[in-house]
Amino acid sequence: MSDTHNATLYGYFRSTAAYRVRIALGLKGLGAEHKFIHLRKGEQNAPDYLKVNPAGLVPYWIEGGFHLAQSIAIIEYLDETHPTPPLLPGDAVQRAIAREIALIVASDIHPIGNLRVLNRLIKMGVDEPTRTAWSQHWITSGFDAIEARLAELPGPFALGEQPTLADICIVPQVFNARRFGVDLAPYPRIRGIDAAAAKIEAFAAAEPGRQPDAE
């Protein structure tokens, strides 16, 4: 595994955004020091971490004097600085579709159901069944759109034989969908991507249960 100039990745085993970056590192064969921020314990709000990342989120990437938040930005940075294997197709149309799928996950599904939103719902007095239904609603809404797009595209991955940014975003969201009891039966292409990814060590090694901070 190659070095990334003493890079550090701050993450949490169950963060789907950090999960995406772990997959990208694995596909690129890149190494980094992993530091763990326990989101459930509120370590992201600790003064020491806020000095590192004022947004108080994970993942967070530090490489020398360079630092970067947001999983999509980190992954695209890794893809540009370590272009083999590519995480985006060579064709402009296919690249746009890969980004579209990735952003449905990263922009439409994930932000509405992440931990700080769920914690806010708790403070507003929303009970657990209603919070679960909230998450299920937004995951299925996004998955409906992704599945419709995937129906137009060749498998086994989102855009054919090789995993791309789209698959890097889909697989962690499938993990989260299962956590919240989402029925995946209506999504054969999404399930197929998850099954194909499970056969690749970069995806398997990035799974939350295989992380040192897993509980």
Residue pLDDT tens, the chain, 215 long: 555 568 999 999 999 999 999 999 999 999 999 999 999 999 999 999 999 999 999 999 999 889 999 999 999 999 999 999 999 999 999 999 999 999 999 999 999 999 999 999 999 999 999 999 999 999 999 999 999 999 999 999 999 999 999 999 999 999 999 999 999 999 999 999 999 999 999 999 999 999 999 99
Q: Could you give the residue ranges of the DSSP H alpha helices within 41-163?
A: 47-52, 71-81, 92-103, 110-113, 115-123, 128-150
What phi, psi does 90 have (nearest 5°)? Answer: -75, -25
What phi, psi does 88 have (nearest 5°)? Answer: -130, 145
**Omega of the bond prior to 47 within 30 degrees of 0, cis?**
no
Determine the topology of domain 92-202 in CATH.
Glutathione S-transferase Yfyf (Class Pi); Chain A, domain 2 (1.20.1050)
C-alpha dist (Å) from residue 68 to 11, 18, 40, 135, 201: 13, 13, 23, 28, 26
Q: What is the pTM of this model?
A: 0.96
Both tokens of residue 124?
């507003």
Quick check: 8 and 33 in contact, CB under 8 A? yes
Determine the topology of domain 8-85 in CATH.
Glutaredoxin (3.40.30)
Domain ranges across the chain: 8-85, 92-202
Find residue 30's DSSP bridge partners. Answer: 2
